[in-house]
Amino acid sequence: MITVKEIYSYIDTFAPYDTQESWDNSGLNIGSFYREVKTVGFALDATLDVIHKAFEKKCDLIITHHPIIFKPLSYIYDKNPAYSAIYRDIAILSAHTNWDACDGGVNDILAKKIGLKNIEKISEKELSIVRTGKTNLDFSSFVNNLNLSLDTKTLCNTVNRKPENIAVCGGSGGSLVEDLYNSGIDTLVTGEAKHSEIIQANNLNMNLFICGHYETEKISMPVLKSKIEDKFSNLDCFLLDDKLSKLQR
């Protein structure tokens, strides 16, 4: 018998939960550690659509990237995904910033996906989630490569310099612009950034490529699924596509 706790403990060996950011809520969000698991669904977010698909496939557990609960809930009503998961008796386990930062996790996967060479981790603790690398492509070719490799429409700021020292941060990495600039980075590839962060990158003469939160992280879920399948060969595992995750760009 395989339990939620066994799956949690295995994820903890390669993406330790004690490395998650202080504001994060990775781990078991809904259900019991002692729940027997036969079928697992994987998704970036536990939306109502994902939970419905998981129920159709008779999933005992959904493993997500983003926690279904970030902050304490004042109430849970029938259109809340947490209500839907509890009602359908589906456990939800998340691996968020611990999966972002670990070796072989989200940002290593993203760096390889867009074809970076000489991929490294920044030594500064506050930037250890980021990966850096090099490319031989000019500005236009690099943007085209991002669009093709991530199936997206990249939004760019107005600097238009040749990418040389590149950093990648899946999801929301705009807040790292200044720290990355101070570390010698001239180009940041991320999922989303605030207007003020785009202006800041322009002022620092940094390329800022915004490729979509969903697009920069969804590529990691098949990898996580494969790791779980390789460890627990008796589990039935499914990727649960979410029609609401990829917004029109």
- Does the pLDDT value for residue 238 go beyond 70? yes
pLDDT digits (tens, 9 = 90+) for 158-178: 999 999 999 999 999 999 999
List all residues 6 or more positions away from 96 whose beta carbon is below 8 Å from its beta carbon: 20, 24, 25, 26, 65, 66, 67
Average pLDDT value for the chain? 96
Which is more confidently placed, 72 or 212? 212
Whole-prediction pTM: 0.95
pLDDT digits (tens, 9 = 90+) for 55-82: 999 999 999 999 999 988 899 999 999 9
pLDDT digits (tens, 9 = 90+) for 94-111: 999 999 999 999 999 999
Rounded Cα distance between 124 and 130, Å, is 10
